[in-house]
Amino acid sequence: MSPAPYLALVLGLAALCQLLAYRLRVPSILFLLIVGFVLGQVVSPEVVLGRDVLFAGVNICVGIILFEGSLSLRFRELRGLGKAVWRLCSLTVVIAWFLITSAALIAGVKWELALLIGALLVVTGPTVIAPIVRQLRPTRRVSSMLRWEGIVVDPIGAVLAVLVFQAIVVGAPEGAFTVAALTLGKTLLVSTALTLLFGVTLEVALRRYLIPDFLDGVVFLAVAVGALVLSNQIQPESGLLTVTMLGIYLANRPGLNLEHVREFKEHLQVLIVGALFVLLGGRITPAQVVDVAPTALVFVTLLILVVRPASIWLGLMGTSATRQERTLLSFMAPRGIVAAAVTSIFALELDHAVETARERASRGGETAQETLALEARAEHLQLLQEQAASLVPLVFVTIVVTVAVYGLGVGRLAERLGLATTTPTGVLFAGASAWVRQAAGVLESLKVPTLIVSLAPGEVSQARLAGLRVERTHILSEHAVEDMELAGIGSLVATTYDDDTNATAAREFAHTLGKRNTFAVKRQGDGGRDTTRTATKLTAPAAFDPPLTAPELEQRMREGMVVRKTKLTEQHTLEDFRERSPEAVLMFTVEDGAATVVTSDQPVPESGVTLVAMVRPRAGKS
């Protein structure tokens, strides 16, 4: 197969796998790796693309993924979590490296390779953490800790693996230590210098409007790839650290608007992740998996049951992380694309090291003793190379098992710990008018979580007196958009008197809740002509049936209407309800604690749900 049809097939399968995973609510990586594994038995990516092109492309793509993820890391997220995140990215890494190395030794891996595996697998990664967090929607604290660990530890693991690999190649302990120290120093120096160079350049270009908005994403992509490649040319395998530091630097510069960049990179990242897992999964053969299965079984079991819990509890001792948060973090360490890619790269580098050692041994040394030492070194590296053939399938199995275990099991654990919900059913209200407070109270009585956001002191006070959960802030404030706790919330209804605020809030929260779950009350004063009607892309779906404006809903409350719940049954159907309350405004349906916003174009079940509606009180009832 030629490269063009093969790449088209990979992209198509990657998109299909991710769509299927979304529908089934399971981690997409499981489908991607399995499909890649099957496709690899038919056509090998190395045969089609060539080994050099494949690994160069993988390295660049991994760099783009880390750059995209690091652009979302803001230091303000660390309020109250700074010590915990610092420990996750330092002490916990050291503990995990020691424990993973020990687990590999117990599983029968030679000690040099065990050290390398330990360095490679301290990483988790945004490619597996982000989809699980998106589906799980945990508390802000847990989400911040997972994302910072996943993104920051990836380049740390890669650099640590470089140091170990250099030490393995050098061989002698005293020489290995010197090489490792020099490598670490050069890596930090190069990454810091390039981060400042490219970071300051991009910042100045943005502040002086030298880059048009539509080119923001393209320019940032080009700079990130250039920084990655240049860094690797100056100091091998330092590029991942460089792009991660560059992303964090840009994300935390005050006044920089990077929304165009983040949106562009997010879409690109989803595409790249799918393609990479299919490509790398295709490099594994069934025979390799069978050969490594006994070792992998012991190794992964220790990884899940011993290594991760021990490293989290020891590493976070004395921090602000709660017992529940530590428990959840203890069972949340899936491995991702960085582990797979870097392992494949180092397996290839070991092949090159063996070839170099053989050439040096064949030329001989200045003395017979030096020649014997070179031959012994070449023979030792040859033995390591033979065992290293199992590294890639071992990591492949580790990725599949950890993603399956953590991805499929963490949701139930998080719910039991009260840190997340896999089926968010609550309602977020923007605005706190009287009818909003009544609706929220009715939903709460039906076990539906609600959150009200308002800046009006009187409305906020009334909501709090009613025992409702309320945030005193503007729905478009940085706190509301970036930091507000949305665990358990599944939909938004924007109800303010400002139509533009409602529409903007619906579009903004659609990134988190999904477009089909964000609504606004009917707009006021839109004309019937095309010249006065608001553009469709600037509006949000109108909530309720019939859809009414904020003043119209408030007026109905002043006329004596109230928000109440009604159980629809076969004896009292929706049709019966409409006959008795023809003026009613249908707002929500609730079934098994899940609320659905009613709209004029969405049919309401005739029975079997509880209807929340604004109605006129019946005679004799207030």
**From CA 460, how far away is CA 442, in angstroms rounded?**
17
Task: Give the CA distances from residue 64 to residues 13, 73, 247, 276, 350, in Å, rounded to whole numbers and listed in that order.
Answer: 21, 15, 10, 12, 25
Residues 397 and 489 in one domain: no
pLDDT at residue 344, rounded to an integer:
74
For residue 431, is it left (φ>0), alpha (ψ between -120 and 50) or beta?
left
pLDDT at residue 535, rounded to an integer:
63
Question: Is residue 371 included in any domain, yes or no?
Answer: no
DSSP 375-388: HHHHHHHHHHHHHH
- The runs of H, that is alpha helices, within 208-284 are 216-234, 239-251, 259-281
pLDDT at residue 176, rounded to an integer:
62
Question: Is residue 384 included in any domain, yes or no?
Answer: no
Residues 403 and 434 in one domain: no
pLDDT at residue 619, rounded to an integer:
57
Residues 397 and 441 in one domain: no
In terms of residue numbers, what domain contains 49? 3-345+393-417
Residues 339 and 455 in one domain: no
Question: Is residue 386 included in any domain, yes or no?
Answer: no
**From CA 191, how far away is CA 67, in angstroms rounded?**
13
Residues 443 and 337 in one domain: no
- Residues 605, 566 contacting (CB under 8 angstroms): no
| pTM tops 0.85 | no
Residues 283 and 190 in one domain: yes
pLDDT at residue 586, rounded to an integer:
95
pLDDT at residue 622, rounded to an integer:
44
Residues 405 and 503 in one domain: no
Ranges of residues in the chain whose predicted pLDDT is under 50: 531, 622
Looking up tokens 């003043």 gives 551
Question: Is residue 375 included in any domain, yes or no?
Answer: no
Residues 294 and 334 in one domain: yes
Residues 434 and 499 in one domain: yes
Question: Is residue 387 included in any domain, yes or no?
Answer: no
Question: Is residue 255 included in any domain, yes or no?
Answer: yes
DSSP 128-146: HHHHHHHHH---HHHHHHH
- Residues 240, 58 contacting (CB under 8 angstroms): no
pLDDT at residue 453, rounded to an integer:
94
Q: How many domains does the chain have?
A: 2
**From CA 561, how far away is CA 546, in angstroms rounded?**
15
At 162, which CATH number?
A: 1.20.1530.20
Question: Is residue 372 included in any domain, yes or no?
Answer: no
Residues 413 and 454 in one domain: no
pLDDT at residue 531, rounded to an integer:
46
Residues 400 and 472 in one domain: no
| pLDDT tens per residue across span 138-161 | 888 888 888 888 888 888 887 888
Structure tokens at 211: 């880059």
pLDDT at residue 200, rounded to an integer:
94
pLDDT at residue 79, rounded to an integer:
75
Share of the chain above pLDDT 90, in %: 32
Residues 401 and 518 in one domain: no
Question: Is residue 475 included in any domain, yes or no?
Answer: yes
Strands 585-591 and 489-494: unpaired
At 597, which CATH number?
A: 3.40.50.720
